[in-house]
Structure 1
Amino acid sequence: MDLAEIIKPENLVYKKPNLLTNKTMHYCPGCSHGVAHKLLAEVIEELDIQEKTIGVSPVGCSVFAYNYISIDWQEAAHGRAPAVATGISRVNPDKVVFTYQGDGDLASIGTAEIMHACNRGENMVVIFINNAIYGMTGGQMAPTTLLGQVTATTPCGRDLERNGYPLKITELIGQLPGTSYVTRQSVHTPAASRKCKKAIKKAFENALAKKGTSFVEIVSTCNSGWRMTPVDANNWMEENMFPFYPVGDIKDAEKAGPEAFTKKN
């Protein structure tokens, strides 16, 4: 029997989302970005919102994300994606707007933008890739770098007295009244990827329902920046990052309205 008849496309476990282009990704082998892109494409496709979705990608490893997911994209300066997304969402309230940002971009250079956009409850989705390092620019320490973690700028490990504590920015964002859904997920196993996809889908459904800001952190690997094999990077992430950045929902609530801040007699 012809092998093509045994292995038919409809019988394959994996089916490439139609929204993913055929362009070869520039990400390093073992990088989490590719899986995150696939999940995003699947969610947008399943919700049938390709024509109304606009992604905003700033400077970082994902700067060329527009090459891989066939939707409308807007580039932003480093850290400024939430500000750009705010403008797009307000001018086009019928669109579904999301940002796709790394930890150096979102938690350092763009801290003001992300905090105030979330506090205002801008109607958008934020996809936050946290690999605890500046991946694109040479593997420097990021705000999310763990204590003791070796990077290009902390060759002896991140030191508390010199560098301060790692920033759990997702927990901070979960305290802001404008956020309706805040969660931390990962994509290092098939089971984790399925949970992450559900979280991303919930975030986009919230955007469609005008529930304010939904924030999805994806704890990720950077095996190139960490100087590890993909397998070792996954193991290191499980042993070191998950204890400090535990996976799960942080906030799941309706967008808080003005009445929540009105003094009651």
Structure 2
Amino acid sequence: MATYKDYMLFDKLPHTWCAGCGDGIVLQSIAAVFADMELDKHDIALVSGIGCFGRVDDYLDINCMHVTHGRALPAATGIALANPNLNVLVTMGDGDGTTIGGNHLIHCARRNINLTAIIANNYNYGQTGGQYSATTPTNSITSTSPYGHVEQNFDICKLAEAAGAGYVARATTYNPVQLRKLIRGGIEHKGFSLIEVMVACPTHYGRYNKQGEAARMMQLMNDQSVSVEKAAKMTPEELEGRLITGCIVNKDRDDYYTKYKRIIDEQNIDK
């Protein structure tokens, strides 16, 4: 029986992430889902961008492609359309996936490309010095907002849902069991899937905002979390500052490849 170890490159360890970073938890969760689903390594393609979480591909023994900052989704789109039988995953951070690559995220969701995007959100550009990103909470301290961040941040899951994503979910690294369940749900979903994972960054964001060590940061994330079911019974005021976790959206519609193929078949276009 396969385990997560069968999908890992242990000769590449130890990893380069900071002590206490949650990216390692997400990495193991992804590999564990591959094992649970008994996926053939040749049937998986993972595309990563630049940033802390973009290093995931360094440690996985599968087909991987490392691309430029913010461009992981268009590269993955090409792979998914060229070979619809592959399980295509994209690993990005909040800076890579929503700040630099935000436009691609919107269009990938509205086109309903059949791939699974996993975004590790640590509220800053962790790899390059802790600058603020599009998800950095207002008033937070970062290396580029030492007096408090004045910009309005946005909710990744709400953005993806508004753009048309058929599967949208959120988890924290405090709860890896839920995380694995949601990642599997995203892979099994036909169409564009997005899983946002809240990840602690004790080196930059946590230190600047006096949130303590990694364990305390994870506890804070858990204290902020509220399930989708409980959130449905709460008022907007009660949900202020909370993290809604679980499967937020799960609806079926034809993915891009299926719709395009139907048009070709109906019009008898020579492929």
Q: So what's the TM-score if we normalise by structure 1?
A: 0.82
- Structure 1 equivalent of residue 264 of structure 2: none
Instruction: Describe how 1:11-160 pairs up with structure 2 within 5 A.
Output: 17-22=5-10, 23-49=13-39, 50-159=41-150
Deviation at 1:156, TM superposition (A): 1.8
- Number of equivalenced pairs: 232
Q: Which secondary structure state, in structure 1, belongs to the residue aligned with residue 124 of structure 2? A: coil
Distance 2:242 2:48 in 1: 27
- Structure 2 equivalent of residue 217 of structure 1: 196
Higher mean displacement: 227-236 or 136-145: 227-236
CA contact (8 A) 2:30 2:183 kept: yes
Q: Which secondary structure state, in structure 1, belongs to the residue aligned with residue 123 of structure 2? A: coil
Higher mean displacement: 86-95 or 15-24: 15-24
Distance 2:6 2:201 in 1: 27
Tell me if 1:185 matches 2:168.
no
Deviation at 1:180, TM superposition (A): 1.9
Instruction: Describe how 1:226-237 pairs up with structure 2 within 5 A.
Output: 226=205, 227=207, 228-237=212-221
Q: Which secondary structure state, in structure 2, belongs to the residue aligned with residue 136 of structure 1? A: coil
Q: Is there any run of 5+ residues in structure 1 with no aligned partner, and where?
A: 1-14, 259-265
Q: Which amino acid aligns with 1:203?
A: G
Q: Which secondary structure state, in structure 1, belongs to the residue aligned with residue 170 of structure 2? A: strand
Q: Which amino acid aligns with 1:88?
A: I
Distance 1:17 1:232 in 2: 28
Q: CA distance change for structure 1 residues 89 and 183 in 2, over 3 Å: closer, same or farther?
A: same
Deviation at 1:92, TM superposition (A): 1.3
CA contact (8 A) 1:141 1:154 kept: yes
2:184 counterpart (201, 225, 228)? 201
Distance 1:63 1:102 in 2: 7
Distance 1:239 1:138 in 2: 27
Distance 1:147 1:141 in 2: 10
Q: Which amino acid aligns with 2:141?
A: V
Higher mean displacement: 131-140 or 57-66: 57-66
Q: Which amino acid aligns with 2:7?
A: L
Distance 1:241 1:61 in 2: 24
Distance 1:61 1:34 in 2: 10
1:250 counterpart (248, 251, 254)? 248
CA contact (8 A) 1:168 1:245 kept: no
Q: CA distance change for structure 1 residues 257 and 123 in 2, over 3 Å: closer, same or farther?
A: closer
Deviation at 1:240, TM superposition (A): 6.1
Distance 2:219 2:148 in 1: 19
Report percent identity of matched pairs: 28
Q: So what's the TM-score if we normalise by structure 2?
A: 0.80
CA contact (8 A) 1:89 1:124 kept: yes
Higher mean displacement: 236-245 or 113-122: 236-245
- The Cα RMSD (Å) is 1.9
Deviation at 1:175, TM superposition (A): 2.4
Q: Which secondary structure state, in structure 1, belongs to the residue aligned with residue 131 of structure 2? A: coil
CA contact (8 A) 1:143 1:167 kept: yes
